[in-house]
Amino acid sequence: MISAYTGTQIREAEQPFLISGAGAVLMQRAAHGLANAVVRELRARGERLYGASVTVLAGKGNNGGDGLFAAAMLAGRGMRTTAVLTAGEAHPEGLRAFEKAGGRVIRLTHGNVADASAAATASGVVLDAVLGTGAQGGLRGPAAELTEALERARPGLVVACDIPSGVDADTGEAHPPVLRAELTVTFGAAKAGLLADPGADYAGRVQVIPIGIETALPDPALRRLQSADLAALLPHPQRRSHKYSRGVLGVVAGSQQYPGAAVLACRGALAAGVGMVRYLGPPDVADLVRRSCPEVVCSSGNAADAHVQAWLLGPGIDEQAHEQLERVADAAATGLPVVADAGALPALHRTLAPHFVLTPHAGELETLLARYGAAPGRPGVEGATLAAARRASELTGATVLLKGATTLVAAPSGAVFSQADATPWLATAGSGDVLAGILGALLAQLAGAPGTFTSLGIRADDRWAGIAALAASVHGRAGSLASDGGPVTASDVAQSVREVIAKL
């Protein structure tokens, strides 16, 4: 599991080391890790080290010091190095080490932005070491001009030092201009802003360099499940399991206008291993589900008569589907765990509970927040996804899964999970219905197994968010597998879920 922290948490963990006089040691460890990461990246690309060129964009603080010390180390490997001092001054010890190693220094002004940009663009590697985790807002003055020029020119390899300059380490908000990195080398632990959009758009791959503060870190602000975690969390049938002990999921989905949503949700649920799916809906939609998924038990009855362990409510239900909305309200009133797609929201109470998992995309989250009196607008949601997901969970009392390139799951307790396992090809009609089915199936199977989550350090009350993160990862991996680099349909994704689970 990847644990990520706010910049404030990292700085607080560093403070005792700084007070004890170990700050220089921490900086040397960070610089050494950064230099080695650059070396490994160049070798992986088949590029030689000796004679290669590196330009470090160095701010005046400790982030610039990390970059200057790293560039000095790279100079010792035979690389030609240039430092652009974006504030005209720099970390004194770092600058001395850089100059002693033979590096060339350009002190940036409004008058030499073009020259500095040309020098950096001609380099094989650009190290972005301007702003660190403590910076407020974005770049200004000549540094902003230089960044804009480099973003247009796109140098060969951009490596961010700790965090791309202009990205908020706590929230992932980006303050343009930001130089997009292929690799971010971050120190001590991952920063929460690197694992949330839009910060993740600028971070590229994230590599964590231990520097010795790790045992002083508190509980993480954000977690990301990895393959071993998924394997530990996924349900495993026992020798004497039967269809009822493996979970029964009730599905209220589909309408005259969107009957296919019900089919896709049921396919996703079946593929995710639930013991039985009971579908409730209009007779013609039920007939379509029965023909597509003969394993599903279909009915046009009401929720009170259905014996299930969890509910999936809302995919493909519009405001004109009054009978379906009544079923949604009845199912929600049972007190069982619920996956609620956007179509279910009109029939739900304003105050929910953590075992309700809402699954909006950014546009739907904007509508949801407006319903509770908070209206950041869609750009506000997309520009601060972590804050928006947390706010929605706080207002509703529910667990909120915000779909996107990076899927965030926020629990009312403040716990957050971040998953980014999908391909962009997964942005296709019906994909969210399959995700809802996977999530519903996992809720039905895992709702009564809090110990599975506490064994991984996830609090029992946060297991609903853990289940949602598990579903998001399985769904993303299924999309990537089905795509294989090309277009994919929602039906393809559902078919690939079994293989993903089997491999895990």
* DSSP secondary structure letter of residue 84: E
Tokens encoding 494: 């559902």
Whether residue 463 sits in one domain with residue 327: yes
Check whether residue 300 and residue 201 sit in a common domain: no
Whether 134 shows a pLDDT value over 90: the answer reads no
Instruction: Summarize the confidence of residues 332-347 as an average pLDDT.
Output: 93
Indicate whether 162 and 220 sit together in one domain.
Answer: yes
184 and 269 inside one domain: no
**Using one digit for the tens of pLDDT, what is the confidence trace for 144-160?**
999 999 999 988 899 99
Torsion of CA 440, 445, 451, 453, to 10 degrees: -40
pLDDT at 320: 84
Does the pLDDT value for residue 70 go beyond 90? yes
Given a contact cutoff of 8 angstroms between Cβ atoms, the answer to whether 181 and 159 are in contact is yes
Q: Within its chain, how far is the Cα of 48 from the centroid? A: 34
Question: Are residues 320 and 438 located together in one domain of the fold?
Answer: yes
Q: 400 and 444 share a domain? A: yes
Amino acid present at 497: V
Does residue 391 register a pLDDT over 90?
yes
Q: Average of pLDDT values for 37-44? A: 97
Residues 255, 317: one domain?
Answer: yes
Check which CATH number belongs to the domain holding 139 and give it: 3.40.50.10260
Q: What is the mean pLDDT of residues 207-226?
A: 96
**pLDDT tens per residue, range 172-186:** 999 999 999 999 999
d(CA 336, CA 309): 7
- Tell me what pLDDT residue 121 has: 95
Q: Into how many domains does the chain fold?
A: 2
Residue 279 sits in the same domain as residue 186: no
Q: At what angle do helices 141-153 and 113-122 cross, to 10 degrees?
A: 40
Q: Mark whether 242 and 214 lie in a shared domain.
A: no
For residue 266, pLDDT beyond 90: yes
Encoding tokens for residue 168?
């908020």
The two tokens of residue 113 are: 């932005």
Rounded distance between C-alpha atoms, residue 194 and residue 489, angstroms: 29
pLDDT given for residue 501 in this prediction:
97
pLDDT at position 158 = 98
Residues 258, 135 share a domain: no
Assigned domain for 135 exists: yes
What range defines the domain where residue 51 resides?
A: 2-224
Instruction: Examine residue 229 and state whether it is found in any structural domain, yes or no.
Output: no
Mean pLDDT across the stretch 197-210?
Answer: 97
Helix (H) or strand (E) holding 277: strand 276-280
Instruction: Classify residue 338: in a domain, yes or no.
Output: yes
Cα separation, 443 vs 460, in Å, equals: 14
Residue-wise pLDDT tens digits, 7-39: 999 999 999 999 999 999 999 999 999 999 999
* DSSP track, 286-350: HHHHHHH-TTSEEESS-GGG---SEEEE-TT--TT-HHHHHHHHHHHTT-S-EEE-GGGGGGS-S
Q: Looking at residues 258-273, what average pLDDT do you find?
A: 97
| The token pair that represents 424 in the structure block | 């962009």
Q: Is the pLDDT of residue 408 over 90?
A: yes
241 domain-assigned: yes
Asked if the structure places residue 298 within a domain, the reply is yes
Cβ–Cβ under 8 Å, residues 424 and 476: no
**pLDDT value of residue 305:** 84
In a domain, 93, yes or no: yes
The pLDDT confidence band at residue 301, using thresholds 50, 70 and 90, is confident
* E strands in 76-124: 80-85, 104-107
